[in-house]
Structure 1
Amino acid sequence: MSDHSSVHAEREAEGSLVEDLKGYHHNALYLIVAIVMIFLTLVLALQPLYLSRVLGLARENAGFVNANIQAITELVDLLFVGYLGYISDRIGRIPLIVYGFLLAGITALLSPFDRQVSAMIGVNVLVIFYVVRVLMSLGGTLIWPQIATLTGDYTRQEDRPLLLANVGFMMAFGVTIVYAVFMQLPEQIGVTPTMCLAGVFALIGAWLAKRLLVEMIQPKMVDRSFPFRDVWNLVKREQGLRLSFLSAFTARNDMVIVGLFLMTWFVYFSDMLEKTSHEQAASRAGLVIGLLGLVVLISIPIWGRVTARIGRVPAIVIGLLISGIGFASMGLILNPFSWGIVIPVIIIGVGQAGCVLVPQTLALDLAPEEIRGSVLGVFNTVGCFGVIFFLQVGGILFDWLGPTTPFIFMGIINLALFVYALSVMKVPHKGRKVSQDLDLSSI
């Protein structure tokens, strides 16, 4: 059978399974996406405030410690995320999602007891917090890549941009709810109860995933190692896949950079303001980051339609350009409490929506169904490398050169990748196997 015929046969088989899905299956997926984003974002957003108010971390080490904790969690994720994608091809996506929610929820509920555990075993409380955050992050690693792969399972290539836009919309909705609503709670009920709320959401996610999600693949319990050669040959053949991986290197950490460093900037800048507490600063930062989430929320459906209309690679080009300009313009802001910060935040939000949605769409398009989880595992592994790199560099820049430098650095990298994406767009004859069937001349 020719490559062209095999692609059509694969798509027909995939389409027949997708057609069996009901509307409530998609709605269940969207709900669980929102819940996992609420958990992941709330834990990250609370971290600077928790370290400052509960554990007493000083300003001098704030950038490094916050970035270092996140980088260590990403390093642990890096060890597992690729292999977990392969495991999901073997046993299915849903068991990993359920166990991930359980691990994340239990450890989040135990995190308020850091000091007691520290005193009991005689270890520095920061070490205990590091361990707890690693376990919470590992739970997220079990969940999120499988959610992304399951989204690919639930869609066909023709309708994938719009359905992934719906998933992206719920991602942004979860992020926006956290910063606009839940980050107002520490000032009202305290930091520790708010951290416990994150654990409750994770346990609810485990119950919903077990009850409502359906598996779209036949798990293949065979003795086969990770398909490195298959994935490597695919990456060598498809220039579009290489672009999607590079975009994952920068795009996955965009919200981490904004959420962590902007929150840290607000919290510790408040020390210069006599009448502003750390809780009030975190609340103000939550509103600003919530605005960014709202912009992403509004932009993602538009990006879905733009991607379906002009193609994946041109959409990536536009997203990288907008995102790069937004991050670089943060260098013009001196006071995070000034209203001028709204302009670059809005620009970042518009660009971020495209940079998160479109590369994943392109990767799912180019990934064969039988190794889809493995390809997405590599995609997420590259994203982990990006998070570690930008967090470590950003933490050092934050402490040594000032709070805006992590954003400026991110802008420079996005603009450099924009130039590369332009070169990919100008070579339409490469990576065309999927695009010939989809009439996506940009790939």
Structure 2
Amino acid sequence: MEPAPPADDHDTRPPRYGGLVLAEGITRAHMAACFLASLAVVATLTFVPAITPHLLTELLGYADDDRGSVVGWLNVAAEAVLLATMTVYGAVADRRGRRPVLVAGFVVCAVGLVLMPFAGSFGVLLAFRIVFALGAAGLTGMIGIIVADYAAPAFRGRAGGLNGVMNGLGALCSVLLLVRLPSILEHTGLSPVAATRVAFALVAGLILALAAVLHRRLSPRRVSRVGRHVPLTVLIREGVKAGRDPGVALAYAAAFVSRADLAIVGSFLALWVSDHAEQARGMSSADAVARAGLVVAIAQTAALIGAPVFGRVSDRLRRQDAVILALGMSGTAYLSALSIHDPLGPGMIPVAIAIGLGEVAGITASGPLLAQQAPRDVRGSAYGVFAFCGSSGILVVSLAGGYLYDHWRPAAPFALVGSFGLAACVFGVLVRRRVVPREETTVDVAQAPDHT
């Protein structure tokens, strides 16, 4: 019997993290930091829309009947900022790297949070919301790019699923803890205004601490070989031109719908429940926001559970088929909200669950399709356009949804985004046979220039 060959001291197998095969040059610590960043981003971006009704009532004295349009206009202003900056951030990510953009976004968001509860008028609150939006623009597109960079191509669906889990945990942290901070602090004896200001300062401090950790733990390397040598305007143009590919176009359409889904859950679902709690149940503003957080938590828990399942399904299906399935689920789920008349009643629970599943399905499926179809050297720019399309969806739903919320019924924004989802699903069916997977380039993260 021949002796066994000596053990290889250098294991050349690619590293794995939570069942994922990682891209070359990416460590488990990098992937762990990526998922921590995902949790922090969603918690940050969910907090402000969910707490806005409380701000309008306690700081500015708005009546319940006026808050729908006000929330809509605040979202419109924020999304206008995102529209103006998303593609630039994507191009900067190709040129300077993902990590600096993400960390800078957290810092600017923290500044906006500190300022927001000191607004004495709608105009000042709008200005501070714009400051927050400038930071949010640096966060929104980066996580999707980083997940695509860090996971091996065949595992991007599962990576997106785990990313969805962290999204759900972040949203739960926001609606179950962060949004409840004013109510908790009020019960310690603080006035509503003081409790709100302290709560915002605590959240801002937490964000800055997380930004410091991520600066140390995320990979500093670049993926694009050409980004540092190409003007930003050229990179932006390449991201737009990528939409000529049917698969990229479908991903852009899915982004329009999926980001609108997030706006619905973060803003109008919370507003609907809190308005009903105050008007029909006589709750205080802080308690109504806390009750709204519980309903949003149901949707986010469903998203948390469904994300890894749909991520695995996404890797087993063709990328475009997974997106089509997700869009159909999302459209049907949001249209089901038309059947609800009491958002605090038991009938809201299955609708919230369906909404959460539809939301995470779209988010999980669209990113891997874009990563498959977009050229690697301009992936950041393509994700910038992807985020631009998502912000366009939020802008349309916020503006039209706010008007319909006040002048028709609270479920109207859900019907609107559900219709968009089904329309995008039909578009996907029409182009699915024209989607040809792009071969992965040979450039890897380890070979890219290292500029912190």
Q: 2:395 and 2:235 mapped to 1: Cα distance? A: 25
Select the residue among 99, 109, 112 that pairs with 1:107: 112
Does residue 140 of the first structure (1) align with residue 136 of the second (2)? yes
Match of 2:146 in 1: 150
CA, structure 1 residues 218+248, in 2 after alignment: closer, same or farther (shift >3 Å)? closer
Post-superposition offset of 1:274: 5.3
Per the alignment, do residues 275 and 83 of structure 1 end up closer, same or farther by CA in structure 2, a change over 3 Å counting? closer
User: 1:422 Cα deviation (Å)?
Assistant: 2.1
**What do you get for the CA RMSD once the two structures are aligned?**
2.1
1:318 — aligned with what? 325
Contact 1:226 1:374 in 2 (8 A): no
Normalised by the length of structure 1, the TM-score is 0.88
User: Relative to total residues, which structure has the larger helix share, 1 or 2?
Assistant: 1
For the 8 Å contact 2:240–2:385, the answer to whether it is kept is no
- Gapped regions of structure 1 (runs ≥ 5): 1-11, 116-124, 438-443
Kindly indicate whether residue 204 of structure 2 is the aligned counterpart of residue 199 of structure 1: yes
Distance change in 2, residues 1:102/1:246 (3 Å): same
Structure 1 residue 245: Cα displacement: 0.5
After alignment, is 326-335 or 175-184 more displaced?
175-184
SS in 2 for 1:432: coil
CA distance in 2, matches of 1:272, 1:85: 43
Contact 1:38 1:198 in 2 (8 A): no
Q: Is the 8 A contact 2:223 2:377 kept in 1?
A: no
2:188 aligned with 1:183, yes or no?
Answer: no
Task: State how 1:253-332 maps to structure 2 within 5 Å.
Answer: 253-273=260-280, 275-332=282-339
Secondary structure, aligned partner of 2:219: coil
8 Å contact from structure 1 (residues 39, 201) kept in 2: no
Shift of 1:30: 0.8
- 1:41 aligned to 2:37? no
Moved more, 282-291 or 106-115: 106-115
- CA distance in 2: counterparts of 1:241 and 1:275, whole angstroms: 48
Taking the TM superposition and a 5 Å limit, the aligned residue runs for 1:23-62 are 23-62=28-67
1:247 corresponds in structure 2 to 254
The structural deviation recorded for 1:403 is 0.7
Contact 1:42–1:198 (Cα < 8 Å) also in 2? no
In the alignment, is the contact (CA less than 8 A) between 2:82 and 2:137 conserved in 1?
yes
37-46 vs 411-420, greater mean Cα deviation: 411-420
Of 38-47 and 52-61, deviating more is 52-61
Equivalent residue number for residue 376 of structure 2? 369
1:402-417 matched pairs, under 5 angstroms: 402-417=409-424
| Letter of the 2:325 counterpart | I
1:392-431 to structure 2, matched below 5 A, reads: 392-425=399-432, 427=433, 430-431=434-435
What TM-score comes out, normalization by structure 2 length?
0.86
Deviations 1:26-71 (A, max 9, x none): 1111112111211111122111111112221122321111011011
Instruction: State the shift of 1:377 in Å.
Output: 0.7
Aligned length: 410
Cross-structure match for 1:234: 242
Aligned partner of residue 18 in structure 1, secondary structure? coil
**CA–CA distance in structure 2, aligned partners of residues 133 and 328 of structure 1:** 30
Q: Measured at CA, do residues 136 and 338 of structure 1 come closer, stay the same or move farther in structure 2, by a change above 3 Å?
A: same
Q: Using the alignment, how far apart are the partners of 1:68 and 1:138 within structure 2?
A: 16
Per-residue CA deviation, residues 338-390 of structure 1 (Å, 9 max, x unaligned), is 11101111111111111111111111111112111111111111111111011
The aligned counterpart of 1:168 is 164
CA distance in 2, matches of 1:436, 1:102: 34
